[in-house]
Amino acid sequence: MKKSVNAYKSLIMFFLILCAITNVNAREKTHPHDIVRLIRKSDDLLNISSRPEEAVRRVNWRPGKGIFSVSFNNGRQKSFGIKELWGYQRRDGSIFRFFQGDFYKIEQIDQMLLYSLENTIGGASIEDLYFSRNAEAGILFLSRPNLRMEYHDNPCFLEKIDQLSVLKSVGALEKDKRNYRLITMLSECNDKQSAGL
């Protein structure tokens, strides 16, 4: 009996180590590329399209050290710590925010920020949705408990969240494919609050 318990523990330990190695390798591959603008602070989001491109040739991300080594087209090189940069914009226009060692793709900026993050588990990719109340707030996994905690001061929004049958529908795009349902709901509640209703 004791041998089978030890064998079972060894098998679990092996599986956990294998998952950790797979996850580390996936994160090493998910480094920034095709960067045209470095975003040093969240305020830079307001005028990002009017800022000139920075002619970034290459960015080496070293997750273990938390350092970006940036090579510019003019030959200049500069290193940035993870806390010195808010995020970056890629050539295709997509914007990413750094938060606790991960790169969250901004899906929509409006009443809140919605993000996606691709997670790799055992070779399969899953894209999860996250949110933050504003550009400086912490990023939280999109779940009812997190939405309730973050928007405890907005009863209208809490009521709308509770009326949804499945949370996954919160992340669904509206018919016009430009707004997430969650942002539409929050906008409606904020408009009511502003009007004093």
Bridge-based pairing state of the strands 67-72 and 56-62? antiparallel
Record the tokens describing residue 182, joined without a space: 């969650």
User: pLDDT digit string (tens) for 120-170?
Assistant: 778 888 888 899 999 999 999 988 899 999 999 999 999 988 887 655 555
Token look-up 């009996």 returns 1
Q: How far is CA 30 from CA 45, 179, 189, in A?
A: 23, 27, 37
Record the tokens describing residue 74, joined without a space: 């003019």
pTM score > 0.75 for this model?
A: no
For the chain, give every domain's residue range: 1-30, 32-93, 100-197
d(CA 35, CA 94): 10
Second CATH level (architecture) for the domain 32-93: Roll (2.30)
